[in-house]
Structure 1
Amino acid sequence: MSSENNTVADIRHFNRFYTGVIGVLDNHILQSDYSLSEVRVLYEIGQQEKCTAGYLTSTLKVDGGYLSRMLRKFEKAALIARQQSSADGRTFFLHLSPKGRKLMTMLNERSSGEISQLLEPLATHQQEQVASAMKTIESILTSQPSPTTDIHYRYDLQPGDIGYLIHLHGVLYARETGYNLEFEAYVCKTFQDFLTTYNTSKDRVFLAVADGRIVGAVAILGASRYMAQLRWFLVHPDFRGRGLGRQLLNMAMAFCREKNYSKVYLLTTSMQTTAIEMYKKAGFHKTGEKFMQLWGQEMYEQRYEMEVVHA
């Protein structure tokens, strides 16, 4: 079976599994006279200040005739009310009635309670993994990355951080520049050397974390009393274009000023064009390069340096 067919089969398998989970939630949590589709419509009406039937049709991808029948049912049950637009007499806004709001409050509480019960047997990190996986699916299928507010920064290295950074370097550089396994071995060696001499008084690794996973990193390593090296600068493709890389570089340079480093240098290759542009904008300038055949590629290794400006 081809890789594409395997992917389709995996998705269909997950659909069958998750449909069963949703079925459990729908039948045994809500315990109401309303289907999942009907509850979705009521939820949207409650969320939108000026909700119209047209909005519901386009947003929820609901057939117009089916939606009309639902709305009549809701009106008959006194769950919603219509209000004519003062600007356009042909437009009617839909609102939840007090009875409708009471129903939705009850259903939301039941749904949250059942989901909590579903997650209860899982460890905290497993619950976070489930939520993160769901956000990833939504993000990819809608082409809308998770909000920037989901990102936080830390520099306290924890068990597993370095291993995951090695993984990210191996996967992303292979995908984007064609580096082979020799590069991953090189990254492993550099981190091994770093951990044997790691000292928080002179070194710092800044991590950007979203939904429990590392999505960006940069490090400052003290090379001497007045010189530091910038290393392992990386931003996950799903989180690029948001200023995350610039924020990481700013944090790194602030640390250099804090530790009174007067110069920072970095080593990169001519293939890292995007990162090089960021280095230049930050104030780095190229001080040397040499041709190399390395990691399955032909490239120029380049050195960049920057004087640290102290206030």
Structure 2
Amino acid sequence: MNTTNPQLSIPAIRDASRRLVRELGFMKPTLAGTHLPASAVHALIEIGENGISSAAELCDVLCLEKSSVSRMLRKLIDNGELIETCAERDGREKQLTLSAKGHQTLAAINQFAYAQVSNALINMPASAQSKVQHGLSIYGEALAASRKKVHPTVFPVEHGVNIVRGYRPGVLGRAVEMHARYYAGFAGFGHFFEAKVASGMAEFAGRMDKSCNQLWFAMREAQVVAVIAIDGEDLGSNIAHLRWFIVDDEVRGSGIGRRLLSEAISFCEQQQFSKIQLWTFRGLDTARRLYEAAGFVLREERPGRQWGEEVMEQRFSRPVLGGQL
């Protein structure tokens, strides 16, 4: 395990970081000789030079919340710096590109920043210049790694349990197993149900590279103990489908399910879905309380056999960011 070098002074590093922030101009209302705030300058650089094309990606790269990014992007669009269009692969996604004015602004930003860095390098020995580049790169990566231990990729829920976002080998098979075992005992579901879950997850796995689809699971030691997924495609009409939500008996009631559900809802807000929908059936009272506490409302109830045995099927939905039920 890495430890802090006792010869380094944390107060000195903090002091140097503050000086960098001040000298680079981040304390001012605008940055890089433009009329724009720092967040907008960084957004133009990421969109124009690093291929970022969506608000969700900018949230991750700039470490800002969706509401802040949305307001900033709206100002850039209104000022003619950005153009917003529908993505070719999915009309629900908005794609961001620089306008002609935005390209001019970015060129001015780069010219200002190049001069700023060049003038600083002149004032240090040549032998130190490569050390600055290397040190700043390592320090930036270390700060990012420290932040990501908490949110969003892997973060602690309680002692010995972490929530992980995205695919990991074995998670799909474990999710199918948990569903089959639990619902066999609770509702008498058999091989039809297990096969339906397995085939559905296999089909979904082939679409997980798309930004509108995501999977989360909770890990305790090397064991998957809870799973949830958002399918942003199968229902259409900009509706997110909450699927395969299961919590193992050993950790049920620990708060892990609530945290997984919260992560899924936050993702749907970032993706700007109109609402979230899920199917369940009568009798799963603990799950229903969890859904209703998170803002879901029962919209439909009817007998059905979509899982192989007749149950009273229930459809719940929840609006996202002002959407309609």
Question: TM (normalized to structure 2)?
Answer: 0.48
Relative to its length, the structure with more helix (as a share) is 1
Question: TM (normalized to structure 1)?
Answer: 0.50
